[in-house]
Every structure is written in C-alpha cells, then in structure tokens.
Chains A and B, each alone.
Chain A
Amino acid sequence: MTQALLRLHGLTKRFGGQAAVDQLTLDVPQGGVLALLGPSGSGKTTTLRLLAGFEHPDDGTITVDGKDVTHLAPARRRFGMVFQHYALFPHLTVAENVAFGLVGREDAGERERRVSEMLALVDLDGFGGRPVSALSGGQQQRVAVARALAPEPRVLLLDEPLSNLDPGLRERTRRELRAALGKIGITTVFVTHEQEEAFALGDRVAVLNRGRLEQVGTATELYERPATLFVATFVGRASVLGGVVTAGDGARLDAGVEWPVETPGALAVGERAAVVVRPEAVRFAEAGLGGTVTECRYLGARAFFTVDVGVGTVEVEASVRAAQVGATVHLAVERALAFPEDAP
C-alpha cells in the first residue's frame, strides 16, 4: 500500500444538530482516485466542501502529506475544484479562466505556456480566446477541469463532474477525464450518486449513507463482498428476504425454505437476518422456494423476472424463455448474503 497523501480522520460536520458527516475516516494514496458514492443526503457533497475548505468541520482533521490543513482557508489549500455547474467566470475568456489561478505565481510567458498546455490536455487547443458562453456543455466541463488543474493543485476535487452532460456525451467525457487524470497522476476525490460513474472513474469507491462511511473498496470488493446491508442493496441489484440464521451457515427464510448464506456481519444462530441475493445468483429450478412470476423485463437475450414468493419478491436474471408471467416456479440459490436486519 502506498503512503496516504490525503487523510480524513474523524471528520464530523453538523448542520443544526444533525450530523451531515459523521466520524468519517478515509485515506487516499498519492495519485489515487477516490469516488464518494451515496444517495442524496448521504453527506458526500458536504465531505467534498469540507475538503475544499468551504465548510468548517465541527470535529476531526484533514491532512495532506502529514500536514494539517483542516482550518486552512480555501485559497491557501492548493486543492483544485471542479464545480457541478462548472462555475466558469462568465466575464472572462477560456484562457483567462484557466489563467485565473496562476496570477502572481509565474511570469506572463510561463503563464501563457501553462494555459496552452492545460488546454491541450483537455483537447481544447485554440479555444483560448473564446468567451466561455460560446462553448458547449462538454467543452465547459473541460475548461473547468483545465482551470482547476492549471495551478498544479495537490488534490483535485470534482463535484458530480458528469451530471450536467447528456447521456451520449457522458461516457466519452468520462473516458477523457479518466485519461487526463491518469496522465498527470493527480490525487483525486470526486462525488457522484451514480455507481456506474463511481466504478468507471474511481479506483476505489467510498459508499456513504447518512453521513457515515459504510465501506470503501474497489468495485469488485463492494459488489462481491459488501460489508453492510446498505452497500449490498445500494451497489448493484439485489432482492432482500427476511429469515432466521440456522446452524451450519444457513438461513431459514420466512417463505419456508432454508438457504445457505454467507454472513459478513456478526450474526448468531437464531438471530433474525436480512438475506440478500443478486439476480444472477438465483435460478429457476425443479424444486426450492416457490412463487409466481409477476413481471418480465426483457434485456435482449436475457430478462429480469420478478417472482412473488408470498413474503416478498425476488428478482431473477435468466434467459428470455426460462419462464412466463403468471407461471408458478421454484427458485434455487447459488449465493446469498445475510446481514443483521436492523443494520443502521
């Protein structure tokens, strides 16, 4: 593991008594790209604003390279920020926007060279003289990135960097952004509420819920080995059924059958559990959990079937011809996870 460049320790921010960010501890290594993923109200944007210095934490510290920057003014923090709506200065040209953070640091020639270097990085050579209002949404986004990177910040922060682009442009911009970040190797933290974006851009993803860190890890770790019920259901598709833990790594479902389960959380035999199963980890079988197919959503050759099992529903991914709506079916499980039911 590389030495952590950016370290958040016990970071807490309350708004009117309510903790928006609660005891958050996270490390980002030099050159790492961390995604903050969570539903709205999970505290991800507040965390980013605490990092940028726009908000002051009630508790906890932020360190860069071992130095405490918790109470440093935003202007002296040397963190670059790309805003959700870009916040380009409308009265300045593209080049003037990019040069804004360079004033007083380098001489004019050096500044000019740096501006064209940055514009080249985001593929906007020759756009320097244009007013920012003359650019498309995607171009504005790239100017915002160039502007944030120009002063060579220690950390780059991005707030929902792709949310303002239309879907077609989003994927291309995501690739370009990924390439640009990789090229300069800058330590990056970005906020998103879309897991696809988090997994595609971030090499690690921190899942936040109600101000708390649920889990941090790679996409595979989060999907295959979710630490909490929240992560299991928030990341990827999953069905949840109630049951009771039995001896020998199993759970007796309220629907009657017993399934083998893995228990990442601490669960004692006889305790109630929430059993989580992915659509691809369930299949139609001759015997097992019985239910009725209520819905079928086609996705080309594969389809998602919704099966009503009496005490809940289970989503099953199978070939299109595997079942029909209205049919009575049985389900067999390949892998299921059990979590404490009242997990916060």
Chain B
Amino acid sequence: MTGRYRGLLLTLILGWVVVYPVALVVLDSVQGPGGWTLEYLAAFAREPREWAALWGSLWISVASVALAGLIGVPLGFVFERLEFPGRRVLGALVALPAVLPPLVGVIAFLFLYGESGFVARAIMQLFGLDESPWRLYGAGAILLVHAYSMYVYFYLFTRAGLAKIDASMIEAAHSLGCGAWRTLRRVTLPLLRPQLAAAALLTFMTALGSFSAPYIFGGGFRVMTTQIVASKLNGDLPMAMAETTALALVALVGLLVLRRQGEARSVVAVGKGTPPSARALSQPIARWGATALGWVFGILLLLPHVTLVVVSLVPLGTWTTQLVPPAYTLANYGTLMTEPERLRPLVNSVWMASAATVGALAVALWAGRLVVQRRVRLRGVIETLVSVPWAVPGTVLAIALATAFSVRAPWVGRWVLVGTVVILPLAYLVRNIPLAAGSVLAGYRQLDPSLDEAAASLGAGRWRTLRAVTVPLLRPAILAGGALAFATGLGDFVTSIVLYTYETRPISIEILSSLRAFDIGAAAAYGVVLMMISAGAMVVGTRR
C-alpha cells in the first residue's frame, strides 16, 4: 500500500476490533425488532436500581481517586525526598500490589479481612466472640481494595514527577523567601500537576471499570459493571446494551474531563538540571520513627501476598474454626498440576495471554513504524485507535465483542467467534493494545530516525532493518509492554466472565468456581501461581 493509503489496512483492522463492536452495542441499544426505538434507554432510565448503579460507579471511582491520592502522593514524597534505613527495599515493596491481578487481590483480602479471615478470627479469639465483628461487604470493602491496589499509580507517578523537578527551582523559591510549605504549594505541586492528573485519570478509569471487587464484595451495592454482567447472564440483552452504552458514556466523559484537567495548566519546565537529592533524616527519633512506620506499612502491603501463600497450603476441608490452619501441604499444587481438568485453566490462560501479547506487540510495532517512522497521513487516527481500548471498561469491551461476533454476516465484517477459542485471545489482545502500543511507541520516539536510514544505506532491507536494528533497540520497550500485556491477559477476569466457555475457561474463572465450591486452598493456589507468573513477567519487563 503506497502513498496516501499507507496505514489504511492497520486503521481498518483497528477500527474493526476496537470501534466497530462498541458502535454495534450503541446501535443495539436504540434499535428494536421494529426499527429505531428509545424504549430500551427509557426502560433503563425508569429503573431506580440503574440510577443507583450509575451513581455507585461514579462516586466509588471519585472516592477511589481521593483515597489513592491521599496514600500515594505523600508516600511518593517520603520515598523520593527522604533518606532513611531500608528506603530502597521498602521503596520496591511499595509497588507490590501491582503484581496482584484484580481477582487475586480480592480473594487475598477475603482470606485476610473477610468474616472468616485471619484478622476476624484473631479478634474473635481475643475477645471470645462467637461471630465476626464485621462483614467485608459493600462500598467500604470495595474502596478498601481499590485504595490498596490503586495508590500505586499515584505513588509511582509522584516519584517520577519529583525525579524530574530541577533542584534549582526549589532553591530559587527558597532564595525568593518561600518557606518549605509555600514552596510545596506554589512550586512543587504545580510542577507535578501533569503527573497527578495522569495518575488521577488512570485511577478513575481503573475504578470505573473495576469488576472483581464489586462482584465479590458488592452484595447489594450496585455498580454498572456488575449490573451489566448480571443483565447479560439473566438474558435481558436490551437492558445490557443500554447499561453498556451508559457506562461507555460515563467513561468517555470522565476521560475528556480529566484529560482536560491535566492539559489545562500543565507547564513545561525549562532547563533540565538534577533533582534535589534525598534528605537524610538526622534526628534519631525521626530516623527510627520513619523506619518503623515504613516497615509496618510494608508488612501491611505484603500481608495479602503472604495470606494467599498460607491459604494455598491448606488441604481441602481441614481448616474449620481454628485461628490458623492446622495442616499445611503442597496437595493443592499437586492436584493443580496433575489433574488434567485442574491444569486446563492454567494452560488456557498461558496460551491465550501469550497469543494476545504477541498479537498486541505486532500491532504496536506496526503502528510505531507507521506513526513515528513513516509519519503516514493516518497517524493521528492510528494513534487514537491504539489508545482507545484503554478508556473502554473491560465489561463494555466484553459485551461489545460478544455482540459483534455472535452473528454471521461476513459482508458487514461479523463472524461467529463467541464460543470458539478465538474470542478470549481477541478480547485480551484488544485490551492489551494500549499497553503494548504505549510502551513501543514511546520507544520508537526515542530512536534516532537516521538509524533506519543508516541501515538502508548499508544495504539492509525492511525486514533485516527490523530484525537487526529496530527490534534490538526497542527491546526494553517491547519487554516492558509485553510483560504488562501478558500479566494483564493472564489475570483477566472482567472480559473472561462474559466470553468464556467451559473449554476455554481461564484461571480467574477457575478461582471463582473453586471459591464457590469452598475449595479455598485451590483458589489460593491458582492465585499464587498467577501472582508468581505476573511478578516474573514484571521482573523480565523492567530489567534493563
């Protein structure tokens, strides 16, 4: 494809898997058997439960942003600006929640803080109670999980932002008579604004699309994601379409509002000096206080992981009323590896996530070449298309794919893929595209464009240039994007629950059915395996 049509093929493919399915859902929500209708949307609007769910989604997301920010931002400051014993180790620990896939984090919280979890048992034992003093239930429980898993965004973005601030800016403020507090308010925070806005956007979108926590802990508390899946499972398709449209709309509005916040007053600092070095805490009390607090916090963060490992060692049916499990074996891992039906979900998840990752990376490399190197006319469209799936909540995407690919109509680009082995990898792939493309495009932008020309002038064709120059130089970006994509696909729950079949069931679905069968040991063992593979992928992805 040459000239003005270069890039058209990728644009069409992306449009077909990203935009088209969502557009079909929106169309379905205003189309009935008798043509155009507002009946479904009206039915949605008449239902108080729907409004409650919409409101629930919205305020939970806003509250998640606030909570995550309150924890993550100060933590970022402490770790970037203060020097105290254990800073390095703890600084790495603080990012730990990131290796827990959403559903795994949720069940770890269940085992830890749930009504029959370790903490409740300890308190019952301590005070001689017959019943758990609380239930992990409703909005509070959801927010707890969200705060735990999403503060990491604020923490990492704050640290990255602080590391970019020139020390001389702070010094200039001080020399102009600004005290520490005023410097923070007038200089540091405004300079951090783009990073904080980005973290807020990421947190808001993640919370809005969050499914695992409301699904497990929600009880009577309604949010849109669980509402959609419930409608779909109940067979009320028109309602599911209307709900999906509503959630997609909220996501779009949230994206636009928050993105504008970030851009409105984002400033570009001139000069690129070195950031201020971390200040050592000199007073012994402050030093030991910071260290002690840091370790307490680190242990709190690590508890869910430890809980998961401990529970995974509990044989089926041995742990009843005791404070801690009476028996530990590797039996759960044994059955997981030896029973074909138990191994199946593991194999499924690994191959589906691998296929999706390879596909997403191929799309990302293709997009990078067209957008950055060739600068084709359609580059703006392509760049938008590869980032769009990120703003589409997983549930919306799943319903959209389920709608688009359950009909055979090749002349409008629709085939029956639902129920086949293709649909889940495809869903993972679409969700992975922004992760892979974000990383790979950033990598492409750092490449000197004349390297490509140098290879060409030395006689290397397009494929040799890709293999011998581009890919090796993009290796860190490809590994980082690929690792993130692989971990996301491996732990996916939100799209899987809509699209899986018994044959293609992934790990997350098996965790859910183990939980339902009260086989908590098996559920935890799957969780540990997921956690380990995700952590391994992250290590590979961040290695230089």
A interface residues (Cβ-Cβ under 8 A, vs B):
52-54, 73-81, 83-85, 87-91, 100-101, 103, 147-148, 151, 157
Contact = CB atoms under 8 A, between A and B. Distances in A.
Given A81-B453, A87-B453, A89-B454, A101 B448 contact: no
A103 B463 CA distance: 14
Interface in B477-533: none
B148 to A, nearest CB: 40
Contacts of A151: 458-459
B457 A91 contact: no
Consensus secondary structure, chain B interface: helix
B457 A76 contact: no
Given A53-B456, A75-B457, A103-B460, 5 more contacts: A53-B457, A74-B456, A76-B459, A83-B453, A100-B468
Nearest to B472: A91
B454 A83 contact: yes
A200 B461 CA distance: 36
A74 B473 contact: no
B96 interface: no
A242 B459 CA distance: 54
23 contacts: A52-B453, A53-B457, A54-B453, A54-B456, A75-B456, A75-B458, A75-B460, A78-B459, A80-B457, A81-B454, A83-B450, A83-B453, A87-B453, A88-B454, A89-B451, A89-B454, A100-B455, A100-B458, A100-B468, A101-B459, A103-B460, A148-B457, A151-B458
A87 B453 CA distance: 9
Contact of A81 (B457, B468, B472): B457
A22 B454 CA distance: 26
B450 A74 contact: no
A74 B453 contact: yes
A186 to B, nearest CB: 14
B469 interface: yes
Given A74-B456, A78-B459, A81-B453, A87 B473 contact: no
A331 B448 CA distance: 54
Contacts of A148: 457-458
Given A89-B469, A90-B473, A74 B457 contact: yes
A100 to B, nearest CB: 5
Nearest to B473: A91
A91 B544 CA distance: 13
Nearest to B457: A81
B448 A147 contact: no
A91 B472 CA distance: 7
A84 B450 CA distance: 9
A89 B448 CA distance: 10
A302 B459 CA distance: 53
A77 B456 CA distance: 9
B473 A52 contact: no
B166 to A, nearest CB: 26
